[in-house]
Structure 1
Amino acid sequence: MRLSIIAAAAMALAMAAAPAADAQTRVTFKSAKSGSSYYQMAVQLAEAMKAGDVSVTVEESQGSVQNVMEAAVRGGDYVFTSPPSLVGLARDGKAMFEARANPKFAEIRALFPIPSLTMHFVARDDEGIESLPDLAGHTLLLGKGSFGAREGEKYIGLFDLTDKVEIADAELNNAVAALKNGQIDAFVTAGSFPAPNVIEAAAGTGVTIISMSDDEIAKTGSTRVVIPAGTYPGQDADVVTTSLPVIAYTTTQMDDDTAYALTKAFWEEKAKLGETARWWNGVDPSFLGNIAGKIHPGALKYYEEAGMAVPDTAN
């Protein structure tokens, strides 16, 4: 009889413990191609979220368009990264979303910012290139197919450099060696800072990272960002340049408690993230101003508690 009582008590304890074991919320984080810096960021975020009550599984993506498209068919456990401008195009059914418009795109909601794609114009420091106009008469490597290559080509046209620079026919992964060997005078790259290829170039050759004027930035129509002095070897002053903001999003299907927990965990763990990967140090509350469209109510609750300002369009 006594054994039966003990067994019954043990079963009751096991049943009571079962809900607690399943209490952790599970989320899928869709970011970028494996091996990319943004995939690494997603893995780092997943690890950081372990400090809270949310378990994050990282899922490889072929790009931001795919991430946004899947927001229309995924459930409340879906988190993804995208530039705000792309989410706006989806919501309005424009550009690449014109033939794939979906009313569910209007249900996309922002959570928090992650490191931006930051433009770097990197020149040999012995070439006297201090500004974009100084690129005239020099050889520039843009690379092919990437955001940085497309943006760099756009800037060459904007600033009347089309017939004044020689574009090197080479891939971006050859940029550091080509710069060191004098085959090129400068290269363009875009990524979260500090960018590994810029660190390598600065340490091995000595470089100038071109700073843009506010008028030049306004002409590009892109978001202004500052790369702080000391980010790269030999960089003694702040570098003002442009960026493509990137935001972590979900949809209205995510419950408020989960959105709150994710957002809270991100900001509370960001300092630790920055200790192991410096690109997280470039993110601060001012990046919330890059969010276009609405923020998830659960995330808004955290921002209100933390006293962080959000755009007027956030609610």
Structure 2
Amino acid sequence: MSILLSTSLLVTACNNEAAENDWQHAHISGPTDSGWYPLSTLFSDIWMDELEEVDVTVVEGGAIGNIREVNTGVDVQTGFAFASDFVDGIEGEGAFEGEPQENVKAIGAFYPTLWNIAVLEDSPYDSLEDVVEYGADVIPGNPGDASEAAFRRIFEAMGYGEEELEEAGVSVDYGGYGDAANQMRDGIIDVTVQGGGPDVPGLTEIDATQSVELLSIPDDLLETLSDEGYGYTTDMTVPGDSYSGQTEDTPTIASWAIMVVNEDMDDDVVYELTKTIWENSDRVEEEQPTRGMWFDPEDGYGEIENPDENIHPGALKYYEEVGATD
């Protein structure tokens, strides 16, 4: 009996220690000049203001790397990612080809990033097919970026893989948003793909002197992308007049910004972290209005691919309590 009691006490002590360590953890975000970083610091402030046990440190990261880091759970336990990258991670596809991330779960989805396929209004490009027909010079982001994956998958769905694009004279180079925007402004490239909410600050700066236009994704192509199960939302538009050369709503795909967590994090800790964010969504909307306006627990649950399987049990408990799973 004493041996059983000692074993029970030891297990309880270990579980309590694990939970205590989970309350005090590192959260991985984007670069300090990204949209994710101020949201991460706001989340950490909310957690530490509302939950006495919590001590969260925000560190810089990036979309793909965040999933890898949270999956290992060594240095960070929570972080931001794109829903489409999360799907790739758990299925071992895209940037995670052959390397499924088996230890990462979602806490929830928070707001959409709409992919802006941008050109200058005075360019000859009025459609995605024109990009191929006229052999455009494109910077879709850096290799493995969510924007680069969106570009690649859009054109693959049209029947143009890397080889077909090259044969058509399409030149694909790589770089960050700022570099791509500068090169488009200077006439070095024709097309860039960038994520906005809904517009992109760098493209808005160009639009002040040279009208920016967006290329729309046709309905049949949106349906194909939806059927592929990439984790994109395919029923959204960039509102008209987001840029001076874009007078009508422009259909596109979107990747929701989500929070991921190591699956071994204590269920009670994840439950409290999840609950505290959603119960303070008014503060998020006040301090981060363009993102906070989207906050809704039903989307938090519903915009995760296979939510009952891919959301952490602690977070799932909260969504069930508030009826978001109905």
Q: Give the alignment's TM-score, normalised by structure 1.
A: 0.70
Aligned match of 2:39: 41
- What is the RMSD computed on CA atoms of the aligned residues? 3.7
* 1:196 aligned to which of 182, 198, 201: 201
Q: Displacement of 1:272 after TM fit?
A: 3.4
Q: Which has the larger radius of gyration?
A: 1
Aligned match of 1:273: 284
Aligned match of 1:52: 50
Distance 1:281-1:209 versus aligned 2 partners, 3 A rule? farther
Aligned match of 1:29: 27
Aligned match of 1:127: 123
Percent of aligned positions with the same letter in both sequences?
21
* 1:232 aligned to which of 242, 249, 260: 242
Distance 1:158-1:297 versus aligned 2 partners, 3 A rule? closer
Aligned match of 1:247: 258
Distance 1:113-1:264 versus aligned 2 partners, 3 A rule? same
Query: Does the residue aligned with 1:273 lie in a helix, a strand or coil?
Result: helix
Distance 1:228-1:151 versus aligned 2 partners, 3 A rule? closer
Q: Displacement of 1:96 after TM fit?
A: 4.2
Once residues 189 and 63 of structure 2 are traced to their aligned partners in structure 1, the CA distance between those partners, rounded to angstroms, is: 30
Aligned match of 1:139: 136
Q: Displacement of 1:216 after TM fit?
A: 0.9
Distance 1:205-1:275 versus aligned 2 partners, 3 A rule? farther
Specify the code of the residue in structure 1 equivalent to 2:317: K
Once residues 201 and 259 of structure 1 are traced to their aligned partners in structure 2, the CA distance between those partners, rounded to angstroms, is: 42
Query: Does the residue aligned with 2:24 lie in a helix, a strand or coil?
Result: strand
Specify the code of the residue in structure 1 equivalent to 2:78: V
Aligned match of 2:78: 79
Specify the code of the residue in structure 2 equivalent to 1:121: I
Distance 1:169-1:85 versus aligned 2 partners, 3 A rule? closer
- Report if the CA contact (8 A) 2:199-2:238 is conserved: no
- Gap runs ≥5 in structure 2: 1-19
Once residues 131 and 110 of structure 1 are traced to their aligned partners in structure 2, the CA distance between those partners, rounded to angstroms, is: 35
Specify the code of the residue in structure 1 equivalent to 2:115: M
Aligned match of 1:19: none
Aligned match of 1:211: 216
Q: Displacement of 1:65 after TM fit?
A: 4.4
- Report if the CA contact (8 A) 2:198-2:242 is conserved: no
Distance 1:61-1:176 versus aligned 2 partners, 3 A rule? closer
Distance 1:115-1:231 versus aligned 2 partners, 3 A rule? farther
* 1:180 aligned to which of 178, 185, 191: 185
Specify the code of the residue in structure 1 equivalent to 2:313: P
* 1:297 aligned to which of 313, 320, 324: 313
Distance 1:68-1:304 versus aligned 2 partners, 3 A rule? same
Q: Displacement of 1:66 after TM fit?
A: 5.7
Query: Does the residue aligned with 1:307 lie in a helix, a strand or coil?
Result: coil
Moved more, 164-173 or 246-255: 164-173
- Report if the CA contact (8 A) 1:202-1:232 is conserved: no
Query: Does the residue aligned with 1:272 lie in a helix, a strand or coil?
Result: helix
Once residues 274 and 229 of structure 1 are traced to their aligned partners in structure 2, the CA distance between those partners, rounded to angstroms, is: 20
- Gap runs ≥5 in structure 1: 1-21, 311-315
Once residues 56 and 98 of structure 2 are traced to their aligned partners in structure 1, the CA distance between those partners, rounded to angstroms, is: 29
Q: Displacement of 1:236 after TM fit?
A: 4.4
